[in-house]
Amino acid sequence: MAEHNQIQPAAIFAVSDASGETAERIVQSALVQFVDAPVSIIRRGQINDAQQVKAVVREAAEKDAPIIHTLVSSDLRALILEQSRLHHVEAVDLMGPVLDRLTNLLKASPLQQPGLLSQLIEARTREIEAVEYAFRHDDGQHPEELDRADIVLVGISRTMKTPTTLYLAYRGWFAANVPIVPEIPMPDELFAVPAERVFCLDMSPSRLVDLRRVRANSLKLPLEPYATLEYARQELTHARQLCIDHGWRRVDVTDKSVEEATREILTLLAISS
Q: How confident is the model at residue 17 (pLDDT cuts 50, 70, 90)?
A: confident
In this prediction, what percent of the chain has a pLDDT beyond 90?
Answer: 62
**Widest Cα–Cα separation across the chain:** 101
Stated as kind and residue range, the H or E segment containing 199 is strand 198-202
- pLDDT level of residue 3 (50, 70, 90 thresholds): very low
pLDDT at 26: 85
Angle formed at CA 96 by CA 95 and CA 102, multiple of 5 degrees: 90
Q: How confident is the model at residue 2 (pLDDT cuts 50, 70, 90)?
A: very low
Interval 116-147: pLDDT, tens: 555 555 666 778 888 899 999 999 999 999 99
Q: Is the confidence at residue 232, as pLDDT, over 90? A: yes
pLDDT of 207 over the 90 cut: yes
Return the SS3 of 29: helix
CATH number for the region 10-114 comes to 3.40.50.2300
Lowest mean pLDDT across 6-10, 116-120, 129-133, 226-230: 116-120
Average pLDDT over residues 66-88: 91
pTM equals: 0.61
- Flag the least confident range among 25-39, 158-172, 176-190: 25-39
Percent of the chain clearing pLDDT 70 (strictly above): 91
The DSSP line for 80-133 is: HHHHHHHTT--EEESSHHHHHHHHHHHTS-----TTHHHHHHHHHHHHHHHHHH
What is the Cβ-side half-sphere exposure of residue 58, based on CA atoms within 13 angstroms?
A: 6
pLDDT for the residue 19: 86
**Contact predicate 14/43, CB 8 Å:** yes
What is the helix (H) or strand (E) element at residue 163, kind and residue range?
Answer: helix 161-169
For the purposes of burial, counting CB atoms within 10 Å of the CB of 111, is it exposed (0-12), middle (13-18) or buried (19 or more)?
A: exposed
Mean pLDDT on 56-78: 92
Specify the CATH class of 118-272 in words.
alpha beta
Residues 95-107 have a mean pLDDT of: 78
175 in Cβ contact with 152 (< 8 Å): yes
Q: Calculate mean pLDDT across residues 155-177.
A: 94
Residue ranges matching CATH 3.40.50.2300 in the chain: 10-114
Torsion of CA 134, 135, 137, 142, to 10 degrees: -140
